[in-house]
Amino acid sequence: MSENITILGGGNTAFAAAANLTLKGFGVTLCELPDFREMLDPVRDSGVIHLVGVEETGAAKVHSLTTDIEAALNASDLILVIVPAYAHKPFALACAPYLGPEHTVVLMPGTLGTLEWATLLREQGVAGVTLAEVDTAPYVCRKTAPDTATIWGTVTGLGLGALPATETERVRERLSPFFPGIQAYPTAMACGLSAMNPVVHPAGVLMNTGRIEYSHGEFYFYEEGVSPSVAKTIMAVDAERRAIAKALGYDLVAADEAFYRAGFGPKGDLWAAINGSRMLTQLKAPGSLESRWLTEDIPYGLSAWHDVGAQYGVDAPLMRGLVDIASVVMGFDGWTSGRSVRELGIEGMGLEDLNAFLEVGYSTS
């Protein structure tokens, strides 16, 4: 099997993954959409991404940097989509003409993005592509210079869900050389409901809006911003997330235990896990409220989860309140600017039909 891999994206985690996997000896093609070619400009001439931190370190000479989607998809059968959730649709539409049954596409993370991709590909007449997502980004990382990525920590035991679910084990084995220790969820829905960013970020940011605006994010978000009271609120959001999952038949791990299992911090309640985290305590707050922590995690996280819950009879008042407050603070409609059950392709599906779809995907007939 090929040791080449294609990464779509040009942000923090895409750069970190491209550099890390290159230094591990894999042939990486890093591709950004043509409209965002400037994301690759700092490394375009040299082809080198400098990596520092707890993983492989050094100057990583990436095999290929491109904005040619067709060439990038021809370079490998394994495609990692490492972009914000609001970029999933543009990438799906750009990739659709060049995808086939030989491809496996993994969203890192997905937050139910596999369901949106499946819907979009079906609308484009594309069949047979295996889709999958993981529950969180593989690293705690940032670009610390235009050509440099810093990895402060690596997630242990990434969670994986595939669509169709019958492909989960094959995808896990395919990803294992690149990301050892992957754990499987029963379905892509279970994985998408296990993302931690929408649990933590909206409540944490909205409860720190004054400090973020005053200091322009000059404080350590997890160390200083997630106080015991903020952690209580996050865990209340988490309880709603788990209730939605329970209605669909999944008994998901609570956020505090998930943080421990991912290696973010020590075992204990959420505040103890975060307060004792070597990875997370180094991360500062967003410099402004115009941050992915709201613009992504509200419309593509909490709003989508709430809509799924509502369809299957679960009320989530705290999620609803956070979406409403964020909509006022940000001046957008957090309910219509992201994903709903319609975008996920499951509007009106009964539970039995949903489970069948998650297991085998869309019928090719």
Buried b (16+ CB within 10 A) or exposed e, 92-108: bebbbeebeeebbbbbb
Q: Locate 48 and state its tokens.
A: 């080198």
**Phi and psi for 240 in degrees, rounded to 5?**
-65, -40
Give pLDDT tens digits for 157-175: 899 999 999 999 999 999 9
**Alpha-carbon 30 to chain mean position:** 18
Query: What domains lie within the chain, and their CATH numbers?
Result: 4-192 (3.40.50.720), 197-334 (1.10.1040.10)
Question: Which of 318, 200, 223, 233 has the alpha carbon at shortest distance from 272?
Answer: 223
- DSSP assignment of 314-359: ---HHHHHHHHHHHHHHTS-TTTSS--TTTTT-TT--HHHHHHHHH
Q: Is 11 helix (H, G, I), strand (E, B) or coil?
A: coil
Q: In whole angstroms, give the CA distance from residue 73 to residue 97.
A: 10
pLDDT lower than 70: segments of the chain:
1-2, 363-365
Q: Give the global pTM.
A: 0.95
pLDDT at residue 363, as a whole number:
67
pLDDT value of residue 210? 97
pLDDT recorded at residue 1 = 38
Mean of all residue pLDDT scores within the chain: 95
Q: Identify the pLDDT of residue 365.
A: 38
CB of 199 within 8 A of CB of 234?
A: yes
Q: What's the CA gap between 211 and 284, in Å, rounded?
A: 12
